[in-house]
């Protein structure tokens, strides 16, 4: 069964450093998403992406964040200058069509020290 994959599984970085989280969505899916979950809290929507453009973004997704689909298979989330409060699990998701069910990857645990 096709699945969303994410790398790395765990990323440790120092405050102020840039990080790039990588995702490979399910191959025939067209819509891509990033969510995050701070330890012990709810899963929160960050951004949706379609046709090489951001469709929607939350208040969390400020200028420090960016997304890109650099090739036909990868979808990345970049945090330009990490803060302690960016420490969280980051989940990538994809769906075949907009408003359809979304399939999530296993997540990347980001720890900012």
Partner 1 sequence: DAKTTQPPSMDCAEGRAANLPCNHSTISGNEYVYWYRQIHSQGPQYIIHGLKNNETNEMASLIITEDRKSSTLILPHATLRDTAVYYCIVRANRDDKIIFGKGTRLHILP
Binding site for partner 1 (CB under 8 A): 4, 31, 33, 35, 42-45, 48, 55-56, 58, 89, 91, 93, 98-99, 101-107
Tell me how far, at minimum, the Cβ of 42 lies from partner 1, in Å. Answer: 5
Q: Which residue, 19 or 92, is less far from partner 1 as judged by CB?
A: 92
CA torsion angle for 89, 87, 64, 28 (degrees, to 10)? -10
CB of 64 to partner 1, least distance (A): 20
Q: How far is the CB of 75 from partner 1 (least distance, A)?
A: 14
Return the number of the residue (17 or 55) whose C-beta is nearest partner 1: 55
User: Least distance (Å) from partner 1 to the CB of residue 23?
Assistant: 11
């Amino acid at each position: 069964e096709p699945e969303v994959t994410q790398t790395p599984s765990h990323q440790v970085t120092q405050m102020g450093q840039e990080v790039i989280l990588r995702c490979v969505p399910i191959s025939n899916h067209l819509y891509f998403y990033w969510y995050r979950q701070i330890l012990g809290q709810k899963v929160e929507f960050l951004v949706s992406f379609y046709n090489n453009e951001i469709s929607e973004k939350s208040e969390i997704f400020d200028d420090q964040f960016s997304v890109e689909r650099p090739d036909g298979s990868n979808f990345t989330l970049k945090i330009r200058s990490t803060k302690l409060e960016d420490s969280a699990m980051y989940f990538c998701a994809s769906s075949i069509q907009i408003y359809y069910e979304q399939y999530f990857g296993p997540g990347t645990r980001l720890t900012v020290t």
